[in-house]
Each structure stands twice: as C-alpha cells, then as structure tokens.
Structure 1
Amino acid sequence: MRKGRIERKTAETAIEVEVNLDGTGQYDVSTGIGFLDHMVEQFAKHSLIDVTMKVDGDLHVDQHHTTEDSALALGQALTEALGDKGGIGRYGAAYSPMDETLSRVALDISGRPYLAWKAGFTQEKLGEWDTELIEHWFQSVAQTAGITLHIELLYGTNNHHICESIYKGFARAMRVAVEKDPRKGGAIPSTKGQLGG
C-alpha cells in the first residue's frame, strides 16, 4: 500500500493528513470549513484515494491559513505516498460535467509545480467558504505535490456546480495519474530516469 502521513503544526494551524493511494475512496475530513470538507470528500470519493484530514486552524482570524495549510499538507502526503513515482501513469485528464457546468482538468505529476487556472466565481462565498481561496487551494496542492495542474471552466453558471465539477475533475485526473501500470514494471515514467529535477 502506498501511504503518506503528514503532521504540520504552526502558530496558525495544527494539521494531520493521511492518504492511501490504493484505497477505495474512504474519507474522514474535518477542517472547520464545511464546504471545504465537502470538496475534499469529493476528491477522496472520486479519486479512490483514502483521505483522513483533521485541521485545527485560526478561523477566528479568517479562512486563509486553514485553506492553504490543509492543501499544503495534502500535497506533502501525496508526495510521500508516491515515493519515487515508479510505475505510475504520471498524466491524468478529465472532463467533468455537472448539470449546466463543464470543466476540464489535466495534470502531470512531474515534480514541477505549476497551476494554470482559467475559472472563476460570481459570488463571494460557497457556504461559509470564501471563493477566492479555491484557486489558492489548488495552487498549494500543486506546490507540495509537484504537480503541473491545468484547470479550466469551459462553461457554467451555478457556483456550487462549478466548484464541485472542478474538484471531481481533479479527483478523476489524479486517479489515472497515480495508478500503477503493470507494463512499466516500476520504471520511472521519464526518459531522464527521475521526476522533478
């Protein structure tokens, strides 16, 4: 089993994250931000990556630190679980429809973090979560997981649908990218013989 566990404690947040890349999509998520919980749960369910995430953050200040640090910790746990990345698919992509909304997510577990974001929201909050933090969440995951991540909203009007479509697309792309290909025999999926350098 490819598993990762991260404990991250600062003056702003205390976080524990565990992932199992070879799971069944089980989750136990508590960040203190209901809509963020819902999105991380969607990620777990549709990627088949088991995720446990417990966050105690300074929500009396605002949601920024909890959002950012939970994503950084998740990316670190994914990196730990991937190890040398031998045998993985490396690339993943998904079109993700949800009612009137369609988004596209493509990613490369390259070791080179980058986020291309072509999406947006027309309201300031989803539940109590500030929508301006959603792009930052993906930037933070990409940073510590070493993912080149492209996210594009093709069309859509309902902000809940837009966000959920993006998270589900990310999940489905990650599922493909982290899965082992038996034909690779554990080889690093790069002509350089390594990823990220």
Structure 2
Amino acid sequence: MSRTATIERKTKETEIKVTVDLDGSGQFDIKTGIGFLDHMLEQLARHSLMDITLQAKGDLHVDFHHTVEDTGIALGQAVAAALGERKGITRFADVHLAMDEALTRV
C-alpha cells in the first residue's frame, strides 16, 4: 500500500502544491520563496525520512504569513490523506533530536 498524497491549494493570496511519500527516504524539493521556511521543511523531510515535494507561490510582497499558513494547511492535508485509515499508528511518542545548533524535544 502506497502512503502518498498530493494536495493543491489555491486562494486569493497563494498557490500551493505539495506531494508527500510517508515511506520515502528523506528526499525533498521545497520552494516557498521563504528561506527559513524552506530550511525547516527540509529538516522535517530529512529527519522524518518522508519525501516532500512542495512548490508555493504567495503574496510575499505583502508579508510571509499567507504563504506560511497555507503551506502548513496543505502539508497537513497531504500527510492526513497519505495516512489513510491510520492503521498501525502509535498514538504517543517522544524524541530528542539535534537539529543544526539546537536540541529539539518533541
């Protein structure tokens, strides 16, 4: 069973297309026009071993918030769709992970 999904989201302010493969190898092709957001999403792909392809166009001349918000919505919808019936999902977990120069705890 393939756990992949593609979501396209278009609003007055943004146009987002995201594809995820939950059983990938951490590959990514992410272009939002926001360097730090790209970096964080790349880290998500790399450390989760989820493949993410994401293209976002937004009204960056106004500010970043529409692009950030709609990217998060589309990515969340893609992950939810890829999970399907959610069989075999463990409900609780935690992890400590060194990311760049910070120690993260989730």
Which structure: greater helix fraction?
1
SS of equivalent residue, structure 1 residue 69: helix
One-letter amino acid of the counterpart of residue 22, structure 2: L
Looking at CA atoms only, which structure, 1 or 2, has the larger radius of gyration? Answer: 1
Counterpart in the other structure of 2:63: 62
One-letter amino acid of the counterpart of residue 66, structure 1: T
Q: Deviations over 1:13-62 (max 9, x none)?
A: 00000000010111000000011111111110110000000000000110
CA distance in 2, matches of 1:71, 1:99: 22
CA distance in 2, matches of 1:100, 1:48: 20
State the Cα RMSD in Å. Answer: 1.4
Any unmatched runs of 5+ in structure 1?
106-197
One-letter amino acid of the counterpart of residue 12, structure 1: E
SS of equivalent residue, structure 1 residue 11: coil
Between the two structures, name the one with larger relative contact order (CA 8 Å, sep ≥ 6): 2
- CA shift for structure 1 position 92: 2.7
Does 2:36 match 1:35? yes
Q: Deviations over 1:133-177 (max 9, x none)?
A: xxxxxxxxxxxxxxxxxxxxxxxxxxxxxxxxxxxxxxxxxxxxx
Residues 135-150 of structure 1 mapped to structure 2, 5 A cutoff: none
CA distance in 2, matches of 1:64, 1:41: 19
TM-score (norm 2): 0.92
Counterpart in the other structure of 1:13: 14
Identity of aligned residues (%): 59
- CA shift for structure 1 position 99: 7.3
SS of equivalent residue, structure 1 residue 71: helix
Any unmatched runs of 5+ in structure 2?
none
Counterpart in the other structure of 1:24: 25
* Paired positions, count: 105
Residues 106-125 of structure 1 mapped to structure 2, 5 A cutoff: none
TM-aligned CA distance change 1:96 to 1:61, over 3 Å: same
Counterpart in the other structure of 1:87: 88
